Amino acid sequence: MSDESLLAARNINASFMDRNMHRGLFDFGRMPRRQVLFDVSAEVRAGECLAVIGASGSGKTTLTRIMLGLAAADSGQIEYRGAEVRRGSEGLRALRAESSIVFQDPFSSLDPRWTVERSVSEPLWLRRRALGFATDEVAGKTAQALARVGLDPRTFMGRYPCDLSGGQAQRVAIARAIVNEPRLILADEPMSAIDVAARVQILETFQLILSGAGSRAVDPTTGQPVKPAIIMVSHDLGVVQHIANRIVVLREGKVVESGATEAVLGDPQSDYTRQLIAAASL
């Protein structure tokens, strides 16, 4: 695990328009803003998993969207591999090229008309020239990605989403997320839409990804294998305790606690964290 930050959010403040219907359609310019993040800082290093936890409405998704350059903050700074992430910047271009997302519901993120092969290979076709792949390499890399998540390519390449269980569909979505060897993966509540048995399989899949097993990506500057980082958004401490290296606890847009997983779960400093632990099946 690297000691250097891969992606960092520093002192992030964010707000949204408060769309009060009683103000009228032509009063848009004077709509008040509702602050949803208050001076939030977080970072993730290569080869580690950062869990962002909290109840619904705590600001988890807003923070991670800002960290991945998908939304803008009112103030604060995002840095990716030491470069500032802002509109039009090299840092933003690098972040978007080297990151991917696994969504909560795999069936809504997979096109029902596409085979597993087409869905998983899509990121490769979109960036084939930039990644330096020949056309005949795409099928091989697609098969490798499926094998990394524990799915036999010979069995699953020709299937459609309707042919898959929830756990299988989520592993296909993860294969699509890792097929172009990203440095950073955002997993947004990736286990809440699948059954308990499938959660164990998905958890093991993420652990293998963090270890770099099966990856062929090499950092050109160091010659070392690239171990991706994972940012996992969750409200389930029973899941994150098995995979997260560090935890950030959000409540109503504020960080109430952060630190190593063992410290946060073993010796929580805030009443809110203790309540989350009490409600979880650890």
CB 206 within 8 A of CB 227: no
* Encoded tokens for 237: 């401490």
pTM above 0.85, yes or no: yes
Question: Of residues 100 and 1, which shows the higher confidence score?
Answer: 100
Residue 183 to residue 70: CA distance in whole angstroms: 17
Residue 235 to residue 189: CA distance in whole angstroms: 8
pLDDT tens for residues 27-78? 555 667 899 999 999 999 999 999 999 988 899 999 999 999 999 999 999 9
Name which CATH class applies to 1-15+36-98+229-282.
Answer: alpha beta
Domain at 108-181+211-227: CATH code: 3.40.50.300
Strand partners, 17: 33
Q: Which residue has the tokens 């029902």?
A: 112
- The model's confidence at residue 173, banded by pLDDT at 50, 70 and 90, is very high
Count of other CB atoms within 10 angstroms of residue 6: 25
Tell how far CA 128 is from the center of its chain: 23
Is pLDDT above 60 for 104? yes
Residue 128 to residue 121: CA distance in whole angstroms: 10
Does an H or E element contain 15, and which? Answer: strand 5-17
Greatest mean pLDDT among 21-35, 140-154, 199-213 = 140-154
As a whole number, the mean pLDDT across the chain is 88
Return residue ranges of the chain for CATH 3.40.50.300: 1-15+36-98+229-282, 108-181+211-227
- The model's confidence at residue 134, banded by pLDDT at 50, 70 and 90, is confident
Closest-CA residue to 124 (of 100, 108, 106): 100
pLDDT at 28: 54
Q: What is the dihedral of CA 231, 237, 211, 135, to 10 degrees?
A: -50
Closest-CA residue to 10 (of 49, 36, 37): 37
Residue 119 to residue 172: CA distance in whole angstroms: 8
Radius of gyration of the chain measured on its C-alpha atoms = 20
CB 77 within 8 A of CB 7: no
Residue 143 to residue 146: CA distance in whole angstroms: 5
Q: What is the dihedral of CA 56, 58, 59, 64, to 10 degrees?
A: -70
